[in-house]
């Protein structure tokens, strides 16, 4: 068994693959394996992966299956005591594995969370810091669930995932959040490294900015999250706030929806879901601190629709 397995799904990543792989093979911690899964790329991604002769790289080539299935494939082939995830257009600080591993081992932790950087196309880098907390559990510190729900910038004990059969949702977009929330719920001990170790690269045409009919997947994802946590009374307020935040984010983002008819349909369904699951959503703490105009748009279906129709 190696110490850490890092799982990297790769799809048409020829522009970024070298930087990603370089950040892995140059880690100060050497006892790692790098599971690179080419998810049906049609560019030179495969050739770039094969050009690396580091024996710690385990590469696989599959037909295009989507990121949920690809990450699950990686988990199933991992042998490390711990697992990390990295997107193929992102990269790690060279000390990431060493620092995260030491934190996990010192505290016998099931999960370790670190801060990260956002790197934009224009070269701007923004550090994203989350409040520090001592080793804890989600029950003792439910605020953890309000931080980012991306699978990267985190270290997971592999036994946590295997013993609880935690896997990514397949065939839906936004598959990250249920995975991370289930891991947080099932983890007995969670720690925080107060240092940014992951570089998250944002592109103008990235998946997170593309809007099409797959926006409806977010309602199925939120439903999965609510079902995962329905018996956790200590999380009710946090999950309601998360529900409002996620739905509000995606209703307002229908302003960039390619098909305005689809956008209007989504807004109708999203507000209907809100009224059903969080009937008093207009009083939710998510809106505290939001400006008057933002609150006015975000709380009202018809104002949201008008805003999205007029947005240029």
Distance between first and last Cα of the chain: 54
Distance separating alpha carbons of residues 305 and 221, to the nearest angstrom? 23
Sign of the CA dihedral running 64, 179, 203, 93: negative
Question: What does CATH list as the number for 4-208?
Answer: 3.90.550.10
d(C-alpha 108, C-alpha 231), whole Å: 27
What is the pLDDT, as a whole number, of residue 304?
Answer: 96
Q: For the chain, what percent of residues have pLDDT higher than 90?
A: 88
pLDDT of residue 42: 95
Residues in the chain predicted with pLDDT less than 50, given as ranges, are: 207, 209
| 7-25 pLDDT per residue, tens | 999 999 999 999 999 999 9
DSSP 139-202: TT-GGGGGS---SSSEEEEHHHHHHTT----SSSS--HHHHHHHHHHH-S-EEEEEEEEEEEEE
Query: Residue 152 and residue 81: Cα distance in Å, rounded?
Result: 17
What pLDDT was estimated at residue 296?
Answer: 93
Nearest 5°: the CA angle 223, 202, 222 is 5
Among 174, 165, 29, 182, which residue's Cα sits nearest to residue 111?
A: 182
Give, in degrees to the nearest 5, the angle at Cα 151 between 24 and 164: 115
* Measured distance CA(281)–CA(131) in Å, rounded: 26
Query: Cβ of 65: how many Cβ atoms within 10 Å?
Result: 17
Give, in degrees to the nearest 5, the angle at Cα 82 between 12 and 222: 65
Listed in order, strand segments (DSSP E) in the chain are: 4-10, 32-39, 57-62, 82-85, 91-92, 111-120, 125-128, 154-157, 190-202
Tokens of 33: 């394996």
pTM value is: 0.93
With contact defined as beta carbons under 8 Å apart, do 298 and 252 qualify?
Answer: yes
Tokens (6 digits) for 263: 């956008």
Using alpha carbons, select from 63, 64, 88, 59 the residue that is nearest to residue 74.
Answer: 59
Burial (CB count within 10 angstroms: exposed 0-12, middle 13-18, buried 19+), residue 107: middle
* pLDDT (0 to 100) of residue 209: 47
């Amino acid at each position: 068994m190696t110490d850490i397995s890092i799982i990297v799904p790769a799809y048409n990543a020829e522009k970024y693959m070298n930087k990603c792989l370089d950040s892995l093979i140059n880690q100060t911690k050497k006892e790692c394996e790098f599971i690179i899964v080419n998810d049906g790329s049609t560019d030179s991604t495969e050739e770039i992966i094969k050009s690396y002769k580091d024996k710690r790289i385990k590469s696989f080539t599959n037909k295009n299956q989507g990121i949920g299935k690809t990450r699950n494939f990686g988990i199933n082939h991992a042998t490390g005591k711990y697992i990390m995830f990295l997107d193929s257009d992102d990269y790690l600080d060279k000390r990431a594995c060493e620092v995260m591993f030491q934190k996990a081992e010192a505290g016998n932790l099931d999960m370790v969370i670190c801060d990260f950087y956002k790197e934009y196309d224009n070269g701007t880098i923004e550090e994203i810091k989350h409040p520090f907390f001592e080793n804890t559990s989600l029950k003792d510190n439910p605020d953890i669930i309000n931080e980012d729900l991306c699978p990267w910038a985190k270290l997971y004990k592999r036994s946590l995932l295997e013993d609880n059969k935690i896997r990514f949702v397949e065939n839906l977009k936004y598959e990250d959040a249920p995975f991370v929330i289930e891991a947080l719920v099932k983890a007995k001990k969670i720690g925080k490294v107060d240092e940014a170790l992951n570089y998250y690269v944002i592109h103008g045409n990235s998946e997170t900015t593309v809007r099409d009919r797959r926006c409806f997947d977010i309602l199925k994802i939120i439903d999965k999250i609510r079902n995962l946590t329905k018996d956790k009374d200590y999380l009710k307020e946090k999950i309601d706030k998360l529900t409002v935040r996620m739905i509000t984010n995606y209703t307002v983002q229908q302003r960039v929806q390619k098909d305005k008819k689809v956008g209007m349909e989504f807004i109708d369904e999203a507000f209907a879901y809100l009224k059903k699951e969080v009937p008093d959503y207009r009083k939710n703490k998510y809106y505290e601190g939001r400006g008057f105009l933002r609150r006015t748009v975000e709380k009202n279906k018809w104002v949201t629709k008008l805003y999205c129709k007029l947005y240029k």
